Amino acid sequence: MDQFLAQSSGGGSYVGLLIPVLLLGVFYFLLIRPQQRRAKEQQALIRSVEEGDEIVMTSGIIGTIVAIDDEDDTLTVEIAAGTQVRILRAGVGRLLTADDEDYDEDEDYDEDEDGDEGGEHDASGEQQGPIQQL
């Protein structure tokens, strides 16, 4: 019995090391590498902004860049007529493009896909769910 355990444990040591190495490789290619690529793209975006660009900040505020201070690494952004704020370059989330603006104007948020203004109804017109009209 002891000989059998000694023989089986000798060959299994490589398999025991192979599984964690394979898992680390999978984690690298599925998690770490794509995150590094996204970080490089974000850094390139931050370096490429210019005056007049319309941006979305990481906080969700939309504004237009009116001045860039390379010494302090800050941007002056106009968020409303006459309202300007200074932000760090790292606060830029993304550039707002013409496609983004068209989508917001065309979208209708008031109605569901079936045309009602909310609530679920069955074929008889009665509202379904935890709250029913009496």
**CATH code of the domain in which 95 resides:** 2.30.30.140
Mean pLDDT in consecutive groups of 10 residues from the start of the chain, 134 residues: 50 80 91 92 91 93 94 94 94 82 50 50 56 57
Assess whether 43 and 79 both reside in one domain: no
Identify the pLDDT of residue 104: 52
Quick check: 63 and 57 in contact, CB under 8 A?
Answer: yes
CA–CA dist 57, 75 (Å, integer): 11
**Cut 0.75: pTM above it:** no
Which residues constitute the domain of residue 16?
1-48
Identify the pLDDT of residue 109: 44
Tokens of 109: 């948020």
Q: Where are the beta strands (DSSP E) in 19-91?
A: 54-57, 62-69, 74-80, 83-88
Assess whether 60 and 42 both reside in one domain: no
Identify the pLDDT of residue 111: 47
Identify the pLDDT of residue 16: 84
Identify the pLDDT of residue 77: 96
Assess whether 43 and 24 both reside in one domain: yes
Residue matched to tokens 């590094």: 36
Q: How many domains does the chain have?
A: 2
Domain annotation covers residue 132:
no
